[in-house]
């Protein structure tokens, strides 16, 4: 007989494991099924984010930043280091250690909350019957539940004529594990992964070339911020080539030869390694039996309504496998909301205040709408900016690059968008998200006391500049 649960979650990434924990906290008998195996072949819940995404990329960004600083920043402080060297295997081992600690932590959290965990592939059939096929090849198990949450995540998009081989032509997984800094690294797609992992290897000595199909750099970001960032990243040595289409790539004599097409016609480039980071697509292979009743969209996403309900009764879907931005915090918040809805509580997510962060140096962060989006929607707005070059803490820390930009409704002064390029933008954006969640105005931010000297004073001053009353800049 199939073991019966209140909730079965398929997928143990930041969407799935968070949903499972919240459901269990709410007193629901919960199971979580995840197929991911760590480098040791054992279960490693945490999904893309913990295993091969957010966390390992940030570990390498941090290590490579230290190396870069020793070489290029310390001298200005009067600190002279004779010869800095990078030991890539040690750096990777540290990264793997961080991943192990966090995935083991998720296992403990699931256990502590009495979530039954299965290391296997879950397949949903009609009437919320779920088959678990264990990763170790053991006998399949039959489960059933009143509610099933699908959280199967996403995988990298592969482009025609550029096949991954795991060694020379890689996705994020390969680029997080190069055993040395390749002399030359080509990156297809100057998006979030391309910029973050391109920065890592650039700091460690690789010559990095980013090949971007679109004419605009970071098309999702505000134009002022994107322009500043592009200039800064080029200064850092990233060779960013826009309007460049990749036609094909082939490995020849231990080099990757890439055929590109630009306004000047076709030409070839050669790299030691090639990272393909052109976006991700929802992953639903093996997830749905023919009679599951769950509909997919044309783009292969699981179709859901505003509250994450699929077309099958009692079946929900969250995270990268559904609409909306592919971000870990978005997946987690959906997980919490669905668990609460299942438990009969009210829950709602404000997708318009989901923050974005790109963990380059300086960081890029934003929430709400860009200037172009406001113009396109015909919304009247006022805008205020403040450069980090005029912020005492930023200068004291050698972090004078970048800008805060705030846009507020001309009539009501409600904050409509905040865009930051600067040190610690990932943390600075949080107060702006809070302000927007409370429908705050630029005047609210301007009247709040910000500690001195802090980078957050740049947010404060940008808010004051909306009303042309900033103190530390011309208005």
**Positions in the binding site for ligand NAD (CB under 6 A):** 159, 188-194, 196, 211-214, 245-246, 277-280, 325-327, 357-359
Q: Rounded distance, CA 193 to CA 156, Å?
A: 11
Sequence-ordered list of residues with C-beta below 8 angstroms from that of 252, at least 6 positions apart, any chain:
none
Taking CB under 6 A as the criterion, the residue among 9, 20, 31, 33 binding ligand FAD is: 33
| Binding flag, residue 151, ligand FAD (CB under 6 A) | yes
Taking CB under 6 A as the criterion, the residue among 30, 147, 154, 360 binding ligand FAD is: 154
| Binding flag, residue 174, ligand FAD (CB under 6 A) | no
**Contact 130/122 with Cβ under 8 angstroms?**
yes
Q: Which does 302 bind (CB under 5 to 8 A by kind): ligand FAD, ligand NAD, none?
A: none
Given the complex with ligand NAD, which of 18 and 115 has the nearer CB atom? 18
Which stretch in 22-30, 319-327, 438-446, 453-461 sits in contact with ligand FAD by CB under 6 A? 319-327
The active-site residue out of 66, 72, 348, 452 is: 452
Q: Which does 174 bind (CB under 5 to 8 A by kind): ligand FAD, ligand NAD, none?
A: none
| Binding flag, residue 287, ligand FAD (CB under 6 A) | yes
Cα-based distances in Å from 165 to 45, 171, 338, 443? 25, 9, 38, 54
Sequence-ordered list of residues with C-beta below 8 angstroms from that of 412, at least 6 positions apart, any chain:
441
Which stretch in 283-291, 344-352, 416-424, 444-452 sits in contact with ligand FAD by CB under 6 A? 283-291
Sequence-ordered list of residues with C-beta below 8 angstroms from that of 154, at least 6 positions apart, any chain:
48, 280, 281, 282, 283, 320, 321, 326
- Cα–Cα–Cα angle for 354, 100, 319, nearest 5°? 25
Q: Rounded distance, CA 295 to CA 315, Å?
A: 11
Q: Which does 211 bind (CB under 5 to 8 A by kind): ligand NAD, ligand FAD, none?
A: ligand NAD
Given the complex with ligand FAD, which of 153 and 182 has the nearer CB atom? 153
Binding mask 182-221 for ligand FAD (x = CB under 6 A): -----------x----------------------------
- What tokens were used for 106? 């998720």
User: 452 an active-site residue?
Assistant: yes
| Binding flag, residue 10, ligand FAD (CB under 6 A) | yes
Given the complex with ligand FAD, which of 142 and 270 has the nearer CB atom? 142
**Contact 92/35 with Cβ under 8 angstroms?**
no
Q: Which does 246 bind (CB under 5 to 8 A by kind): ligand NAD, ligand FAD, none?
A: ligand NAD
CA 366 and chain centroid, separation: 13
Given the complex with ligand NAD, which of 43 and 218 has the nearer CB atom? 218
| Binding flag, residue 48, ligand FAD (CB under 6 A) | yes
| Binding flag, residue 152, ligand FAD (CB under 6 A) | yes
Q: Which does 279 bind (CB under 5 to 8 A by kind): ligand FAD, ligand NAD, none?
A: ligand NAD
Given the complex with ligand FAD, which of 319 and 384 has the nearer CB atom? 319
Taking CB under 6 A as the criterion, the residue among 5, 9, 14, 383 binding ligand FAD is: 14
Q: Which does 331 bind (CB under 5 to 8 A by kind): ligand FAD, ligand NAD, none?
A: ligand FAD
Q: Rounded distance, CA 167 to CA 46, Å?
A: 25
Q: From the CB of 48, what's the least distance to ligand NAD, in Å?
A: 8
Given the complex with ligand FAD, which of 122 and 402 has the nearer CB atom? 122
Taking CB under 6 A as the criterion, the residue among 30, 63, 121, 129 binding ligand FAD is: 121
Q: Rounded distance, CA 71 to CA 67, Å?
A: 6
Q: From the CB of 197, what's the least distance to ligand FAD, in Å?
A: 7
Q: From the CB of 23, what's the least distance to ligand NAD, in Å?
A: 25
Q: Rounded distance, CA 23 to CA 11, Å?
A: 14
Given the complex with ligand NAD, which of 220 and 395 has the nearer CB atom? 220
**Contact 185/176 with Cβ under 8 angstroms?**
no
Given the complex with ligand FAD, which of 18 and 228 has the nearer CB atom? 18
Which sequence positions are flagged as catalytic?
Answer: 452
Residues contributing to the site for ligand FAD (CB under 6 A): 10-16, 33-36, 47-49, 53-54, 57, 121-122, 151-154, 172, 193, 283, 286-287, 319-320, 326-329, 331, 359
């Amino acid at each position: 007989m199939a073991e019966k649960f209140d909730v079965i979650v398929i997928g143990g990434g930041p969407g799935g494991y968070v949903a499972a924990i919240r459901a269990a906290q709410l007193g629901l008998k919960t199971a979580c099924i995840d197929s991911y195996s760590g480098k040791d072949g054992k279960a490693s819940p945490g999904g893309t984010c913990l295993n091969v995404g957010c966390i390992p990329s940030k570990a390498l960004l941090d290590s490579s930043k230290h190396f870069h600083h020793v070489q290029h920043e310390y001298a200005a402080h009067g600190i002279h280091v004779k010869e800095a060297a990078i030991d890539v295997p040690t750096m990777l081992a540290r990264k793997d250690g961080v991943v192990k600690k966090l995935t083991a932590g998720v296992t403990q959290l699931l256990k502590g909350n009495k979530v039954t965990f299965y290391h296997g592939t879950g397949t949903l059939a009609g009437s919320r019957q779920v088959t678990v096929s264990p990763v170790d090849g053991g006998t399949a198990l039959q489960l059933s539940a009143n509610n099933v949450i699908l959280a199967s995540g996403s995988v990298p998009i592969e482009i025609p004529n550029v096949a991954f081989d795991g060694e020379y032509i890689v996705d994020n997984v390969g680029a997080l594990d190069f055993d040395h800094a390749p002399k030359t690294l080509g990156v297809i797609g100057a998006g979030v992964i391309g910029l973050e992992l391109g920065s890592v290897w650039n700091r460690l000595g690789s010559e990095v070339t980013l090949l971007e199909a679109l004419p605009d750099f970071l098309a999702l970001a505000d134009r002022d911020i994107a322009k500043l960032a592009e200039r800064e990243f080029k200064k850092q040595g990233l060779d960013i080539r826009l309007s460049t289409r990749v036609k094909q790539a082939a490995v020849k004599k231990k080099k990757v030869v890439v055929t590109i097409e630009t306004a000047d016609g076709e030409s070839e480039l050669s790299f030691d390694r090639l990272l393909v980071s052109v976006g991700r697509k929802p992953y639903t292979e093996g997830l749905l039996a023919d009679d599951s009743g769950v509909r997919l969209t044309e783009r292969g996403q699981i179709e859901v309504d505003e509250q994450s309900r699929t077309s099958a009764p009692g079946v929900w879907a969250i995270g990268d496998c559904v609409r909306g931005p592919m971000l870990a915090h978005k997946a987690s918040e959906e997980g919490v909301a669905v668990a609460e809805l299942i438990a009969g509580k009210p829950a709602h997510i404000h997708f318009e205040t989901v923050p974005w962060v790109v963990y380059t140096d300086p960081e890029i962060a934003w929430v709400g709408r860009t200037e172009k989006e406001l113009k396109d929607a015909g919304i009247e707005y006022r805008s205020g900016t403040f450069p980090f070059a005029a912020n005492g803490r930023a200068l004291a820390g050698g972090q004078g690059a970048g800008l805060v930009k705030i846009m507020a409704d001309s009539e009501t002064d409600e904050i409509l968008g905040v865009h930051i390029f600067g040190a610690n933008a990932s943390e600075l954006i949080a107060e702006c998200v809070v302000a927007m969640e409370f429908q705050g105005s630029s005047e609210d931010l301007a009247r709040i006391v910000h500690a001195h000297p802090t980078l957050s004073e740049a947010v404060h001053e940008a808010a004051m500049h909306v009303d042309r009353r900033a103190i530390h800049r011309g208005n």
